Amino acid sequence: MSSDNVLEVKGLTISLLLGGSYFEVVRDVSFSIAKGESIGILGESGCGKSLTGASLLRVLPHPFAKVTKGEIFFKGEPLHLMGHKEFNHKFRWREASMIFQESSAAINPVVKIGKQFAGVLKRVQADFTKAKYLLKECGLPDGDRILNSYPHELSGGMKQRVMIAMSLAGNPDLLVADEPTTATDATVQTQILDLLLEIQAKRGMSIIFISHDFRLIKKMCRYVHVMYCGKIVETQLTDELLKQPQHHYTKGLIDSRLSLKVAPKSRLTSIKGVVPPIEKWHKGCSFFERCEFSSPKCKLEEPPCVTTSDKARLACWFPVKR
């Protein structure tokens, strides 16, 4: 454990209430982020990547999801032992904040932007004049007009910028970005990503970037954790991972991308089947059913998450041959 890690997550387990009983949807997830670094969490929908992000800021849907096990350290301090009041006062907004997938759902539609901004700034005991400054930093020079308008008067890209500006109110050291560009247009997407990179470089923030798109992860993150069925199955430097994926799931995801190298109208390789529903996650390797290289061992025994090199990890009995 090095001391310059902003965040360390150890053995995080989250349970979800389904039909009267709890199922573990995030299982034994561990990762860490150094200061100023950005990591990606990648996976298909239903893999628990959003829940992992939400649990860091305690915004899990209560009582349907709860953290049952695991330790979270923020700058060495045990975050999991912190009381709710202290968490709200000291941690949220000030140390870490989150931006969500759909800006229109995350911003109250019947309250003017200015008032919502004021609420956030009051929490962090900052002056309201800071709002204009933050908006300008996020590429909205026309601060007065923005603060005086309702969310529906702004375009999708602008709302996303407002949300990013708000998240910066308390000068956080950690930003959790949960698919921040899924709901925006392709051209706006590039702008938002550039903005995030710019802010990160300026403030030295750490970013956890949650996405299902390799293109975004490649642009944004140095490290990537691939999640499947609630577990991290592979961790690797992004460039390495794209060059030489070792887990069959990662390879499948990379191969099914549309890139300029794929001939038009040719048959795309795809992973057969879909992510199984939570009730059907079984004991062995969770990718067993969709994997082309599975053997009986995969069904019975769960592959441990083994550290292969410096920071790389892999959970597979029969990794892709180099």
Which of the residues 6 through 45 are near another protein (CB under 8 A)? 44-45
- Please identify, among the stretches 58-66, 119-127, 137-145, 200-208, the one whose residues bind another protein according to the rule CB under 8 A: 137-145
CB of 191 to another protein, least distance (A): 6
Considering only 83, 260, 292, 322, the residue that binds another protein (CB under 8 A) is: 260
Nearest to 68 by CA among 22, 32, 19: 22
- DSSP readout, 37-91? -EEEEE--TTSSHHHHHHHHTT---TTTEEEEEEEEEETTEEGGG--HHHIIIII
Note whether 166 and 128 are within 8 A (CB). no
Which residue is associated with the tokens 């990160």?
200
CB of 38 to another protein, least distance (A): 16
Q: How many residues bind another protein (CB under 8 A)?
A: 45
Note whether 279 and 260 are within 8 A (CB). no
Considering only 227, 253, 285, 305, the residue that binds another protein (CB under 8 A) is: 253
CB of 8 to another protein, least distance (A): 30
| Sheet with strand 174-178: strands edge to edge | 96-99, 174-178, 206-211, 38-42, 223-228, 231-237, 313-314, 306-307
Site string (205-244) toward another protein, x via CB under 8 A: -------xxxx--xx-------------------x-----
Nearer to another protein by C-beta: 59 or 262?
262
CB of 245 to another protein, least distance (A): 13
What is the rounded CA–CA span in Å between residue 98 and residue 206?
A: 12
What is the rounded CA–CA span in Å between residue 64 and residue 173?
A: 29
Half-sphere exposure (Cβ direction) of 229: Cα atoms closer than 13 Å: 21
Q: Is 144 in the site for another protein (CB under 8 A)?
A: no
Q: Is 161 in the site for another protein (CB under 8 A)?
A: yes
**What does the binding site for another protein look like in residue numbers (CB under 8 A)?**
44-45, 139-142, 155-158, 161, 185-191, 194-195, 198, 212-215, 218-219, 239, 252-253, 256-260, 262, 264-265, 267-271, 274-275
